[in-house]
Structure 1
Amino acid sequence: MPSDPRALLRSRAYLRLLVVAAILGAPVSAAAYGFLALVNYLQPEIFIHLPHGLGFRGEPWWWPLPVLAVGGLLTGLAIRYLPGTGGARPAEGFKVHKPPTPADLPGIILAALATLCFGAVLGPEAPLIAIGGGLVVLALRAARRNMPAQGVAELASAGSFAAISTLFGSPILGAFLLMEASGLGGPMMGVVLVPGLLAAGVGSLVFVGLNAWTGLGTFSLAIPGLPPFGEPTIGEFGWALVIGVAAALLGSGIRWLGLLLQPYSIRRPPLAAVVAGLIVAGLAIAYAEGTGKASSEVLFSGQSALGPLIANSASYSVGALALLLACKALAYGVSLSSFRGGPTFPALFVGAAGGILMSHLPGLALVAGVAMGIGAMSVVMLGLPLTSVLLATVLLFSDGLRVMPLVIVAVVVAYVTVARIQPPAQPEAEPAGHTDPAAAAAPGAASAVPPQAGPPSQGPPSQGPPPAGPASAPGPGTRPRD
């Protein structure tokens, strides 16, 4: 593979890669759309229609307890007994991993459905990234195409792009997320991103068409109907500093709780997930009984509840908001330890709830507080500053550009504060279950194509034949062990 990006763009192999990426983008996006539609269908079936079917007039106050216990049991069984350990552990942060093998996909899908549909506080983005990459690997195996490991990794990355853009409703936002998460950089960045953008663009047309055909709706982050926002004030820039530090402390506490409980989940996944589910259910019940609000505001990722929370913020007292923030944050940390899903949407919800709570203080408008809370909490939990700014901007729709300076300050403060208060990350081994030889040789699902490797080290010119025996030097072409 040429190290010059312009030479790579002119190559026939790259054109073939683009064609294959465009072709694969359509079915992967359709699969992602179907996965999200299934989650949106099962959540009300379990929490609304099933209680009615059993003869209750509404959801009983204790209903989350058995539901979260069942969800925890299913998640734990998938982690313990199916290949792939149910996907990546969310408590360890948002990262892009190697594409899962076809054998890993059932466990990842089951663990994700049990997490998302039964009310654990995690989002669908991490499973979608894994499913998108895994479906591409499955398609390449089914086609029996003899493709280099780098090509497999690049196409798997395109599948992840297509799947995540279905959730965010924007290929650009998906590109930012995966670009930062995979650490892409250097002159090859644009070359590597283009196949993913192409697959995501084709996929966007697919899920728009699926919405028109099925009527199940689209998936968009924008929150319409927000109150108008004027211009940032000096006081709000001061609040950006406060919100950035507060989000760093709260988010670090949430991650600490998840990592503290994670060893119990690793030792006994089913039991730990059941206990975690019961704790999350108890927090939801405590919030519902204490405020008269719905327990679903604590349960689930918060993706669907975020818009109504902001739109109806005037109906929440300061005490209700404080209790919501506490219960959601605790449920988020507990879910990180034992369930499988993504950290993005709970971070958005917690940040928005914190911003609404702080907007009751003088000198801070509601929209500004929500935007800064979302951006600051996102960067704490994801570690992706550019994506965090973009998320807040996209969510707030017409007000996004006006509040962007405030969001940038809050994000930077939170990002730097977390770097100072958290210990440096330790190198981690890959989770068990990713044993595909092609995937093992490839970089991460959205990682960049590495520069061309130089020739194997030959060492100094030999002055004669090497000595015989075990101490012989490696022969020509032998790569030294890393």
Structure 2
Amino acid sequence: MAQDTVQQPTAAPARALLPLILPALVVGVGASLLFLGVSEAAEALQDVLWQNLPDALGVGRYSALWMIVMLTATGVAVGLVVWKAPGHAGPDPATTGLDAPVLPPAVLPGLLLATALMLAGGPSLGPENPIIAVNVGLAFWLGRRLLPRMPGGLWAALAEAATIGALFGTPVAAALVISEALAGRQLKGALWDNVFGPLVAAATGALTTTLVAHPSFDLHLPAFGRPGWGDLLAALAVASVAALLGMCAVRAFPYVHGGFARLRHPMLALPAGGLVLGLLGVLGGHLTLFKGLEEVGEIAADPEGWSAGEFATMTVVKLAALLVAASCGFRGGRIFPAVFVGAALGLCAHALVPGVHPAVGISAGVLGMLLAITRQGWVSLFTAAVLVGSPAILSLLCIASLPAWLLVTGRPQMQLREDGTPVR
């Protein structure tokens, strides 16, 4: 009986891949420097707004009054940019994900300004989505003019991979995102031929960020030794609870977004969103402001420093702040604040049940929350593992991801279509 044979994809010759190296290197360096430049500018402005200015006025840096004033003022400032800037600072962020559309060059300055103001002012969003969009737009526009024979889609792939590498300080995250994106496509050639150029760009972006800024995602948690049955049970429970909690925000997303959309103008929706975020900041404390990465390090440095109730409050408030910020029109991404939500939930589990190791609680909480918010399996697993810096915990996370994924797969995502209906 004749057996069916599986045709293997034909590998591209080296001469077909060599021309990709130089463009990938240039895009990688450029994407990283733009990300670092925006981050530095936003941090400098944040120091002025949250340290120098309240000190000069004799107001507490994180007093209730200052948080409400600053978040509302940030909504006004970003609203002005969205209203008046060419292209209105890009599309509605609720409709975009990591796979950014190619925006016209005239739109990019407004998007950068809106992102920097958001990062400095305190809304609970990260820089990833708008920075990817800006780098994709710049790479496409410059690449088509300097090397018109190169495929247009290549520039977008290089810029996206380079930015993800720069954001995480490692090309591994970009490689995982690329492989996940390619999984459902009919590839022309071998997998590594398809990821060769983007991987070069991601590695270059990550290396540039590492050399310039020396980032670290390791939270330096207490050492985690050999995992036991209790650790497995804790990881399964925390990841599943985090996924369910994240899905509550996902389910509410189109309704909250629709509520702000009824205001019909960015100078109404964004200040209103800023006011709500200020009130949430008063409720949850200053650790629930901003993108959340530095704040994760603060709560992880002292797992015993807050009660279970305080961790639970931070979890719910930060998730609500993420929901509001993503719904009212602030330009930003959802990964970094979701990391804080998952970490706070994991530390709440540790406070309730001291037998739950902080590393297990944080990593499992981040895993489940990111699965619900991003629907990116590999990125969720990678981010959760890299936060605790323990190879022994990876097997626990792989198992814990299975029930969490069953809870989120096939259900609405935290991304909307143009008509306001959720993407599935």
Unaligned stretches of 5+ in structure 2?
Answer: 1-6
Identity over aligned pairs, percent:
29
In structure 2, the partner of 1:172 is 172
Task: Give the equivalent residue in structure 2 for 1:417.
Answer: 407
Instruction: Specify which of 282, 286, 299 is matched with residue 283 of structure 2.
Output: 286
Q: How far is the alpha carbon of 1:44 from its aligned partner?
A: 2.2
Aligned residues, how many?
408
1:155 aligns with 2:145: no
After superposition, the Cα gap between the structure-2 partners of 1:424 and 1:54, relative to the gap in structure 1 and judged at 3 Å, is closer
Q: Which residue of 2 aligns with 1:202?
A: 204
8 Å CA contact 2:29–2:208 kept in 1: the answer is: yes
Q: Deviations over 1:95-127 (max 9, x none)?
A: 413222212212221221222111111111112
Where does residue 460 of structure 1 map in the other structure? none
RMSD: 2.7
Going from structure 1 to structure 2, the CA distance change for 1:17 and 1:253 (only over 3 Å counts) comes to: same
TM-score by length of 1: 0.77
User: Cα 1:427–1:237, aligned 2, differ >3 Å: closer, same or farther?
Assistant: same
Q: Residue 120 of structure 1 aligns to a residue in which SS? A: coil
| Pair 1:268-2:265 in alignment | yes
TM-score (norm. length: structure 2): 0.87
Farther off after superposition, 21-30 or 307-316: 21-30
Q: 1:325 aligns with which of 291, 311, 315?
A: 315
Give the stretch that moved more between structures: 152-161 or 89-98: 89-98
User: Cα distance, 1:19 vs. partner?
Assistant: 2.1
The answer on 1:316 being equivalent to 2:318 is no
Does structure 2 conserve the Cα–Cα contact (< 8 Å) formed by 1:131 and 1:160? no
**Structure with the higher fraction of residues in helix conformation:** 2
1:374 to 360, 366, 370: 366
Q: Relative to 1, partners in 2 of residues 1:104 and 1:192: Cα closer, same or farther, differing over 3 Å? A: farther
User: Is the contact between residue 347 and residue 381 of structure 1 (CA under 8 Å) also seen in structure 2?
Assistant: yes
> Matched residues in 2 for 1:337 and 1:36: separation?
23
Q: State the match for 1:344 in structure 2.
A: 335
Partner of 1:236: 231
Are 1:227 and 2:222 counterparts? yes
What per-residue deviation string (whole Å, max 9, x for no partner) do you get for residues 183-210 of structure 1?
A: 565455322321122122233443344x
Q: Which residue of 1 aligns with 2:78?
A: 75
**Displacement, 1:222?**
1.9
Q: How far does the alpha carbon of each residue in 1:320-373 deviate from its partner, in whole angstroms, 9 at most, with x for none?
A: 112111211111111110212111011111001000101134442221111100
Which residue of the partner structure matches residue 385 of structure 1?
377
Give the SS at the match of 2:89: coil
CA–CA separation in structure 2 for the residues paired with 1:406 and 1:324: 25
Structure 1 residues 321, 105: CA separation in 2 closer, same or farther (over 3 Å shift)?
Answer: same
Query: Please, which runs of 5 or more residues in structure 1 have no aligned partner?
Result: 212-216, 289-294, 432-482
Q: Hey, what's the Cα distance between the residues in 2 that align with 1:114 and 1:182?
A: 34
In structure 2, relative to structure 1, the CA distance for the partners of 1:118 and 1:5 (3 Å cut) is: farther
Q: Which amino acid aligns with 2:339?
A: L
Give the secondary structure class of the aligned counterpart of 1:63.
helix
Rounded to whole Å, the distance in 1 between the matches of 2:184 and 2:324 is 31
The answer to whether the 8 Å contact 2:239/2:366 transfers is no
Which of 12, 15, 22 in structure 2 is aligned with 1:8? 12
Asked if the contact 1:257–1:334 (Cα under 8 Å) also holds between the matched residues in 2, the reply is: no
Aligned residue identity for 2:345:
G
Q: Where does 1:54-133 land on structure 2 (aligned, <5 Å)?
A: 54-56=57-59, 58-87=61-90, 89-92=92-95, 94-133=97-136
- Larger radius of gyration between Structure 1 and Structure 2: 1
